[in-house]
Structure 1
Amino acid sequence: MVMATTTSTAAVTSLASVTLEVADLEAARRFYSAFGVDAYLRLRQSEALSTGFRGFTLALTVSGPATVDGFVGAAVDAGATVLKPAARSLWGYGGVVQALDGTIWKIATSAKKDTGPDTRVIDEIVLLIGVEAVKATKQFYTDRGLTVAKSFGSKYVEFAPGESSPVKLALYKRRALAKDLGVPADGTGSHRIVLGSTTDAFTDLDGFVWEAAASLAPTAP
Structure 2
Amino acid sequence: MTSIPFVTLEVPDPTVADDFYATAFGVGTHVRARASQAPTTGFRGFAMSLVVSQPSTVDSLFGTALDAGATTLKPATKGFWGYGGVLLDPYGTIWKIASSSKKDTGPVTRQIDDIVLLLGVADVAATKRFYVERGLPVAKSFGRKYVEFAASPVKLALYGRRTAAKDAGVSPDGTGSHRIVIGSDAGTSTDPDGFEWEAASASREQHGHLIAHAGEAEVVL
Indicate the residue corresponding to 2:179 in structure 1: 192
Distance 1:121 1:140, change over 3 A: same
| 3-state SS, counterpart of residue 33 of structure 1 | helix
Indicate the residue corresponding to 1:112 in structure 2: 102
Length-normalised TM-score, structure 2: 0.89
Task: Give the RMSD, CA atoms, in angstroms.
Answer: 1.7
Deviations 1:78-98 (A, max 9, x none): 110111110000100001111
Rounded to whole Å, the distance in 1 between the matches of 2:93 and 2:128 is 24
In the TM superposition, 1:142-153 aligns within 5 A as: 142-153=132-143
| 3-state SS, counterpart of residue 170 of structure 2 | coil
In the TM superposition, 1:26-41 aligns within 5 A as: 26-35=15-24, 36-41=26-31
Would you say how many aligned residue pairs link Structure 1 and Structure 2? Answer: 207
Indicate the residue corresponding to 1:203 in structure 2: 190
In the TM superposition, 1:122-141 aligns within 5 A as: 122-141=112-131
Rounded to whole Å, the distance in 2 between the matches of 1:16 and 1:113 is 31
Deviations 1:117-170 (A, max 9, x none): 3210001110000001111110000000000001111100000014xxx10011
Rounded to whole Å, the distance in 2 between the matches of 1:185 and 1:29 is 27
**In the alignment, residue 92 of structure 1 is paired with which amino acid?**
G
In the TM superposition, 1:1-221 aligns within 5 A as: 14-35=3-24, 36-162=26-152, 166-213=153-200, 214-215=214-215, 217-219=217-219
> Unpaired runs of 5+ in structure 1?
1-11
Rounded to whole Å, the distance in 1 between the matches of 2:108 and 2:44 is 30
Q: CA deviation at 1:39?
A: 1.7
Q: CA deviation at 1:16?
A: 4.0
Q: CA deviation at 1:15?
A: 3.0
| 3-state SS, counterpart of residue 106 of structure 2 | coil
> Unpaired runs of 5+ in structure 2?
201-213
Provide runs of 4+ in structure 1 moved above 6 Å.
Answer: none
| 3-state SS, counterpart of residue 76 of structure 2 | strand
Distance 1:216 1:155, change over 3 A: farther
Q: CA deviation at 1:40?
A: 1.5
Rounded to whole Å, the distance in 2 between the matches of 1:178 and 1:46 is 23
Rounded to whole Å, the distance in 2 between the matches of 1:64 and 1:101 is 27
Rounded to whole Å, the distance in 1 between the matches of 2:100 and 2:197 is 31
Moved more, 190-199 or 173-182: 190-199
Would you tell me which structure has more strand in proportion to its own residues? 2
**More RCO (CA 8 Å, sep 6+):** 1
Rounded to whole Å, the distance in 2 between the matches of 1:199 and 1:150 is 19
